[in-house]
């Protein structure tokens, strides 16, 4: 590793330590239950998590473990049954100006050009047209889409559209960037390269990020810490610190340390994922019966 | 290649239409189509000049176009807000959606005597019937467009903490524009048919009474020439609607 890289790494760790006292996100003993015809179902059970300024934390778990429920609760789109979520010291009761969300599904506005999409949150804040387009330009550059400002989303690839969505959320200047499997619909190679882009942006802005994912490689490539969830109800199974050097690129996927982290996480997840699969098969069997 | 992409469809459409006229001309001249019922296309073209010069087509054309414009504007101004109202008020939607759909298939034109009693033998009767006939597709398509907005776009709006009005103005309405305009086009067709139909029935207004009069004179070339002007009104309205849609949603 180069000296410059070492220095950068130290300064990042220093910054994190300096602000370590006050987490940006606090998830405190959060429970989410739903009333169903079959009775009460607990989707998320007693989950707690602190995320510090500039930290990249991934939440990983098998399908149906309540990751998206947790995402929607942190984002204020879903009410909490018990416990508390706070962002920048303020309790989350609904959508919060300190939280920017990037969704799994394609979410750009097809009737707006790239720059109009990115400038959208600024338009809502009442920023004048010239200023918001100028500010949007900064975020367009940040996600590497300069030259595509006047294009419509239909003229872009899936990966480019997702970068537009990320730039639009960054233009909102959130203290916490919350992403729900933003690259799930993309192929593995695009996903790795976009991971590089996200890492670069996160470091440049010292952006605090929480990523919800089911992709182990993606989680290890991007994160400082990974929270592994159990399968139904979703609980914290384990939190792993990813002690890989920063700045990081996708080249790291070939390293031994990376492979060990992937194996370790899969070891924890395998049991949960198997349980999920058995449940799905049992459900399919029930549906087959007359 | 690029010019073929750009002008090819229009050229093919126009060429096909000319070919159709040539084929009809030949079939009539060969006696395979009765020339007393269907006039020669060449005679219709010649009659266009006569209709313009002798029948005062311009004021009649403008009157029909004005009535169609009035009905079209009312269809949009009443139909779109009603569609929005049904989208917002679920109980009202469930109570009336089937009625509105049934109304779309009803031959509204048959109740013209009622409108005559209310509005008299005037352009208002024609505009009112055109409006009522054009409303159902606009209401239903507005409702369909708003209800069909992808949930993720609504969640994006919520994540940006938009007010209900901002959510509607910046996300719901633009997302629904293509479907709303599909309804507007249908509504305009219904309105246009009824405008000319009622003009014809009550013998009042622009092109409808002229077509009635020319057909009663058994001047078939001039009748078809006058019908060409009805088609022209329709084409102009469709071009205008297309322009407005492009302006509202450039990527459509």
Cα A225 to Cα A243: distance, rounded to the nearest angstrom: 9
Domain annotation covers residue B56: yes
Assess whether pLDDT exceeds 60 at residue B97: yes
Residue A230 lies in a domain: yes
DSSP-derived secondary structure for B139-178: HHHHHHHHHTS-HHHHHHHHHTT--HHHHIIIIIHHHHHH
pLDDT band at A290 (very low <50, low <70, confident <90, very high): low
Would you say residue A182 lies in a domain? no
Q: A214 lies in a domain?
A: yes
Q: What is the mean pLDDT of residues B129-142?
A: 95
**Percent of chain A surpassing pLDDT 70:** 92
Flag whether B33 is in a domain: no
Residue A83 lies in a domain: yes
- Lowest mean pLDDT segment, chosen from A31-40, A278-287, B66-75: A278-287
**Residue A276 belongs to some domain of the structure:** no
B126: containing domain: 44-248
Domain for residue B25, yes or no? no
Q: Determine whether the interchain pair B251/A110 forms a contact, defined as Cβ–Cβ distance below 8 Å.
A: yes
Distances (CA, A) of A118 to A45, A211, B237: 36, 21, 35
Interface of B with A in 16-75 (CB under 8 A): none
Give the domain extent around A48: 22-94+208-244
Which residue did the predictor score with more confidence, A18 or A36? Answer: A36
Q: Does residue A150 fall inside a structural domain?
A: no
In this prediction, residue B1 carries a pLDDT of 62
Please report residues of B whose CB lies closer than 8 A to that of A105: 150, 152
Which residues from chain A sit within 8 angstroms of residue B174, using beta carbons? 109, 111
Share of chain A above pLDDT 90, in %: 63
Domains in chain B, number: 1
Question: Contact at 8 Å (CB) between A158 and A106?
Answer: yes
**Is A217 among the domain residues?**
yes
What's the whole-number mean pLDDT along residues A41-49?
Answer: 92
Q: Is the pLDDT of residue A210 over 50?
A: yes
- B252 to chain A, any CB pair closer than 8 A? The answer is yes
pLDDT tens, B232-241? 999 999 899 8
A112-158 pLDDT, tens per residue? 999 999 999 999 999 999 999 999 999 999 898 999 999 999 999 99
Q: What is the number of structural domains in chain A?
A: 1
Structure token digits, residue A82: 């018990």
Report the distance separating Cα A179 and Cα A207, nearest Å.
12
Q: Do B156 and A100 touch (CB under 8 A)?
A: no
Q: Which of A136, A81, A83, A98 is nearest to A114 (CA)?
A: A136
Q: Per-residue pLDDT for A1 more than 50?
A: no
pTM reported for the whole predicted model? 0.81
Nearest CB neighbour to A95, from listed B158, B171, B251: B158
Q: Is the residue at B106 inside a domain?
A: yes
Write out chain A residues lying below 8 Å of B252, CB-based: 111
Identify whether B28 is part of a domain: no
Average pLDDT, chain A: 87
B164/chain A closest Cα distance in angstroms? 12
Q: For the domain that residue B198 is a member of, what is the CATH number?
A: 1.10.3720.10
Chains A, B: CB pairs < 8 Å = 54
3 state SS of A49: strand
Q: Is the pLDDT of residue A4 over 80?
A: no
pLDDT in tens, B110-120: 888 999 999 99
Q: How far apart, in whole angstroms, are the C-alpha atoms of residue B212 and residue A117?
A: 54
Which chain A residues are within 8 Å of B166, Cβ to Cβ?
A: 124
φ, ψ of residue A61 to 5 degrees: the values are -175, 165
Report ipTM (2 d.p.): 0.84
- Domain for residue B120, yes or no? yes
Residue A170 has pLDDT above 50, yes or no: yes
Tell me whether residue B192 is in a domain: yes
For residue A243, name the pLDDT band (cuts at 50, 70, 90).
very high
| Residue A66, domain CATH | 3.40.50.300
Q: Is residue A55 part of a domain?
A: yes
What pLDDT does residue A10 have? 33
What's the rounded mean pLDDT across residues A225-229?
95
Q: Which residues of A touch B (CB under 8 A)?
A: 75, 77, 94-97, 99-101, 103, 105-107, 109-113, 120-121, 123-124, 152-154, 172
B155·A99 Cβ contact <8 A: no
Mean pLDDT of all residues in chain B? 91
């Amino acid at each position: 590793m180069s000296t410059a890289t070492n220095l950068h790494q130290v300064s990042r760790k220093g910054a994190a330590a300096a602000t370590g006292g006050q987490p940006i996100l606090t998830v405190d003993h959060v429970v989410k239950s739903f009333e169903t015809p079959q009775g009460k179902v607990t989707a998320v059970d007693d989950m707690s998590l602190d995320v510090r300024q500039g930290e990249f934390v991934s939440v990983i778990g098998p399908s149906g473990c309540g990751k998206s429920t947790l995402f929607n609760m942190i984002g204020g789109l879903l009410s909490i049954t018990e416990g508390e979520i706070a962002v920048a010291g303020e309790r989350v009761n609904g959508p919060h100006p300190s939280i920017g969300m990037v969704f799994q599904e394609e979410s750009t506005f097809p009737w707006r050009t790239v720059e109009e999409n990115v400038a959208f949150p600024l338009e809502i804040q009442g920023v004048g047209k010239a200023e918001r387009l100028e500010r949007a330009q900064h975020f367009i550059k940040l996600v590497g889409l300069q030259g595509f400002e006047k294009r419509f989303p239909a003229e872009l690839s899936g990966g480019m559209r997702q970068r537009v969505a990320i730039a639009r959320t960054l233009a909102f200047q959130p203290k916490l960037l919350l992403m729900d499997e933003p690259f799930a619909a993309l192929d593995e190679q695009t996903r790795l390269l976009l991971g590089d882009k996200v890492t670069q942006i996160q470091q440049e802005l010292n952006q605090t990020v929480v990523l919800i994912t089911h992709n182990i490689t993606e989680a290890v490539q991007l994160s400082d810490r990974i929270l592994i969830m159990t399968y139904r109800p979703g609980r914290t199974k384990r939190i792993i610190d990813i002690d890989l050097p920063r700045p990081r690129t996708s080249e790291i996927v070939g390293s031994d340390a990376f492979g060990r982290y992937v194996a370790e996480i899969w070891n924890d997840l395998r049991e949960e994922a198997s349980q999920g699969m058995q449940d799905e098969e049992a459900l399919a069997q029930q549906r087959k019966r007359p | 290649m690029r010019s073929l992409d750009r002008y090819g469809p229009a050229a093919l459409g126009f060429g096909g239409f000319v070919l159709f006229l040539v084929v009809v001309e030949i079939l009539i001249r060969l006696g395979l189509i009765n020339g007393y019922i269907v006039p020669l296309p060449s005679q219709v073209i010649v009659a266009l000049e006569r209709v313009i010069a002798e029948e005062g087509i311009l004021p009649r054309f403008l009157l029909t176009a004005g009535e169609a414009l009035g009905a079209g504007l009312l269809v949009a101004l009443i139909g779109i807000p009603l569609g929005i109202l049904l989208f917002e008020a679920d109980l009202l939607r469930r109570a009336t959606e089937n009625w509105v759909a049934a109304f779309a298939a009803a031959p509204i034109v048959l109740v013209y005597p009622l409108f005559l009693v209310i509005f008299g033998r005037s352009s208002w009767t024609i505009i009112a019937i055109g409006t009522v006939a054009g409303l159902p597709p606009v209401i239903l398509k507005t409702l369909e467009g708003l209800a069909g907005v992808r949930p993720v776009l609504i969640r994006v709006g919520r994540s940006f903490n938009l007010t209900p009005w901002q959510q509607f103005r910046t996300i719901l309405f633009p997302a629904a524009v293509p479907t709303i305009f599909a309804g507007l086009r249908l509504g305009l067709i219904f309105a246009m048919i009824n405008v000319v139909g009622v003009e014809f029935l009550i013998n009042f207004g622009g092109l409808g009474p002229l077509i009635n009069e020319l057909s009663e004179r058994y001047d078939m070339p001039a009748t078809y020439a006058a019908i060409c002007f009805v088609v022209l009104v329709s084409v102009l309205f469709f071009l205008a609607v297309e322009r407005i849609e492009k302006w509202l949603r450039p990527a459509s």
